[in-house]
């Protein structure tokens, strides 16, 4: 995305909630969609493993990720995943427990948008209530639309 004032490229500002121009210092606040995702700009050469639409750089709860505007799935670094869950839990205090995930989702073949190899599709460790896909090679998780909310609503597992 380019600066509306001078045309220079915008960069994600500190706090990951707006874009800032390094040249004229203009700031652009990005309005989140109904799920709280702020879309930045399209990622060249990276396509959604579900609907094959172009993926977009995005921010959710101040965590950078890559998301699909069409199907609302997203790709998040493994190192950022638990941080994202904790930040979402801080905003959404309710723990309306959802039922078990559809076991048929485990049979899906999801290809990693980065390396194009098959991702490991599995239950999130929290008891089988959400299905996600992971690429250990690229250190990425893919979550379909709504799966983060299912995970976020699970009771927090006590640390031993």
pTM value is 0.81
Residue 160 lies in a domain: no
User: For 4-24, what is each residue's pLDDT tens digit?
Assistant: 889 888 887 766 667 888 889
Which residue segment(s) compose the domain that 4 sits in? 1-30
What mean pLDDT comes out for the span 22-39?
84
Q: Which residues, 6+ apart, have CB-to-CB distance to 144 below 8 Å?
A: 50, 71, 72, 73, 105, 131, 132
User: For 88-129, what is each residue's pLDDT tens digit?
Assistant: 888 776 666 667 778 888 899 999 999 999 999 998 876 667
Kindly state whether residues 90 and 54 are assigned to the same domain.
Answer: yes
Kindly state whether residues 71 and 20 are assigned to the same domain.
Answer: no
Q: Kindly report the average pLDDT of the chain as a whole number.
A: 86
Kindly state whether residues 91 and 132 are assigned to the same domain.
Answer: yes
Domain tally, the chain: 2
Distance (Å, whole) CA 135 – CA 111: 9
Kindly state whether residues 26 and 96 are assigned to the same domain.
Answer: no
Kindly state whether residues 132 and 100 are assigned to the same domain.
Answer: yes
């Amino acid at each position: 995305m380019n600066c509306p004032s001078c045309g220079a490229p915008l960069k994600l500002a500190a706090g990951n909630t707006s874009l800032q121009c390094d040249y004229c210092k203009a700031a652009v606040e990005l309005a989140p969609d109904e799920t709280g995702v702020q879309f930045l700009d399209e990622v060249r050469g990276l396509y959604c493993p579900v609907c094959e639409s172009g993926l977009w750089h995005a921010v959710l709860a101040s965590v950078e990720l890559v998301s699909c505007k069409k199907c609302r799935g997203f790709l998040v670094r493994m190192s950022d995943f638990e941080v994202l869950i904790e930040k979402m839990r801080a905003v959404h205090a309710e723990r309306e427990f959802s039922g078990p995930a559809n076991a048929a989702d485990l049979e899906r073949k999801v290809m990693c948008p980065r390396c194009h190899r098959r991702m490991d599709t599995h239950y999130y460790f929290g008891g089988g209530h959400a299905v996600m896909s992971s690429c250990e090679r690229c250190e990425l998780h893919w979550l379909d639309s709504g799966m983060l909310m299912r995970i976020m609503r699970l009771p927090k597992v006590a640390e031993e």
